[in-house]
Structure 1
Amino acid sequence: MYTSTQPIVYSFQSTSNLSDSLAEYILKAQKESIDKRGRFTIAISGGSLPKTLTALIKKSGVKHIFYADERIVPLDHEDSNHKLAYDTLYSHVPIPSDNIHTIDLSLQNDLEELADAYEKELIREFAQKDSARFPVFDLILLGIGPDGHTASLFPGHELLSENDRWVAFIEDSPKPPPRRVTLTFPVINHAARVAFVATGVGKAQILHDILDTPEIGLPAARVRPVAPGQLVWFVDDPASAEVKLATSDFKL
């Protein structure tokens, strides 16, 4: 049985301060990864994260991006995480399209095959470089939903107990659209660093449930990277109002 790390929760007065500190954190993570292994691998989810990363990626020169989850819709559809990332991020920074690892929608009629194809994308990136049972991302950036879900891992869903696959599909997401693919907990929890971003008073109660009462078992509370992996939350003061663990003392 592996040991997991405890979360560090940083709370900021404004989203601007949060974004600046998140940028510092990612730049440091990138430098350490490149110095140690000569590469930096990152996976992102949707929501507000791509917009937060625009200035950062212009500065850092991140070149390869994977998705923590994606909706099975056309890549230019309003529900697509890739569409959101393109509009808010890729259209503003010079990242070659071949280095943005999207799902293969030609396989959308067979979600198992589509998930397998995305898993093979990960295998091509990681298997020849790492000997671990699961890929080790240098950083995975996640958000949370009002129900405590993260990526496309939802409360009470059978995917919460998936222990073998790197990428899995879901056909009955409680949040539309229903068909999605997602990284599984073993992949997320083998990352060197996982960073959550959550803002706004609407996240206050669910953050309390996730961070102060993890025994409830909400999906986001199950993100606990294998030691010596690091788990950090970047939140604003309205979101952290009910969280006992939160601190304003940001340190790299």
Structure 2
Amino acid sequence: MAATHQPPAAPILISFKGKDELVDSLAAFVAKASKESIDKRGKFTVAISGGSLPKLLGGLTKDPSVKWNKWHVYYVDERVVPLDHPDSNHKACVDLLWSKVSIPEDQIHPIDDNLLDDLEELSDAYEKELIREFAQKDSARFPIFDLILLGMGPDGHTASLFPGHELLSECDRWVAYLEDSPKPPPKRITFTYPVINHAARIVFVAAGGEKADTLKTVLDEPEAGLPSARVKPVFPGQLYWFVDDAAAAKVEFPRTPFKL
């Protein structure tokens, strides 16, 4: 009998009155996901994108229940800059998160900034980081993260997957590079959709009225094909949107009350 493929579950949209409530609820959600994964497998694998996400995750640093020594952290995308550069996603996470908690340094996986002059080698090296963690332990063709955390740009991009870019159709590589990002800096590496969509949980975080038009297009008009709308987790993965009321002001998509 031929295998049947379940369609992806509908996204879950959770909207909060303001950013403080969003930050606190997001922290509680991530802490619960962390506990469930650690209880089940003894570790928590998480990948984080850049932008405003590290700041919005700040509530986690106040939660004494989080077992940071069991976290294994990767970056969904990264700007091709030294790790101490202001544009570095890793630096933002170190400054706002990792420097404030007791996560072992060798369980945080930044890019190798000795390879910044060779984008292909840099992306290959980061893909090998994922292979070391996942290839021998999961039977799937792609890694299965416990949680991937994403942001959304005003143009609908997520990670470093931009509207109209050829990487939107990449389906083989785990990590790819680009040198023509429409947002500076132009050189970046990024997870591809197959890696993002195989996560057990995917959470988008979007706040502010400047995201309202884009969020409406992504959720109410997914056929428009914006990069964020192409995030569709493979069954049984689940996609969540944590947004504030300002970002969700124009959205007709049904909201779900927050509960742990």
Distance in 2, Cα, partners of 1:57 & 1:184: 29
Question: What letter matches 1:216 in structure 2?
Answer: A
Alignment pair present for 1:227 and 2:231? no
Partner in structure 2 of residue 15 of structure 1: 19
Which residue, out of 221, 238, 245, partners 2:253?
A: 245
Partner in structure 2 of residue 194 of structure 1: 202
Q: CA deviation at 1:34?
A: 2.0
Render the CA deviation track for 1:110-133: whole Å, top value 9, x for unaligned.
111110100000011111211110
Equivalent pairs: percent with the same residue? 67
Render the CA deviation track for 1:39-80: whole Å, top value 9, x for unaligned.
210000112221222331453133321000000011111111
Task: Trace 1:106-185 onto structure 2 (pairs within 5 A).
Answer: 106-185=114-193
Question: What letter matches 2:18 in structure 1?
Answer: S
More moved, 3-12 vs 215-224:
3-12
- Give TM-score scaled by structure 2 length: 0.93
Equivalent pairs counted in the alignment come to: 252
Secondary structure at the aligned position of 1:105 is classed as coil
Partner in structure 1 of residue 73 of structure 2: 65
Runs of 4+ in 1 over 4 A off after TM superposition: none
Render the CA deviation track for 1:223-245: whole Å, top value 9, x for unaligned.
01011101000000010001112
- Give TM-score scaled by structure 1 length: 0.96
Query: Is the contact between residue 43 and residue 72 of structure 2 (CA under 8 Å) also seen in structure 1?
Result: no
Q: Any gaps of 5 or more consecutive residues in structure 2?
A: none
Q: CA deviation at 1:246?
A: 4.4
Secondary structure at the aligned position of 1:31 is classed as helix
Secondary structure at the aligned position of 1:64 is classed as strand
Distance in 1, Cα, partners of 2:140 & 2:56: 31
Distance in 1, Cα, partners of 2:61 & 2:108: 13
Render the CA deviation track for 1:21-41: whole Å, top value 9, x for unaligned.
112211221222222222210
Question: What letter matches 1:61 in structure 2?
Answer: K
Change in Cα spacing, 1:89 to 1:25, as seen in structure 2 (3 Å) is same
Q: Any gaps of 5 or more consecutive residues in structure 1?
A: none
Superposition CA RMSD, Å: 1.3
Distance in 2, Cα, partners of 1:219 & 1:48: 18
Change in Cα spacing, 1:110 to 1:71, as seen in structure 2 (3 Å) is same
Partner in structure 2 of residue 91 of structure 1: 99
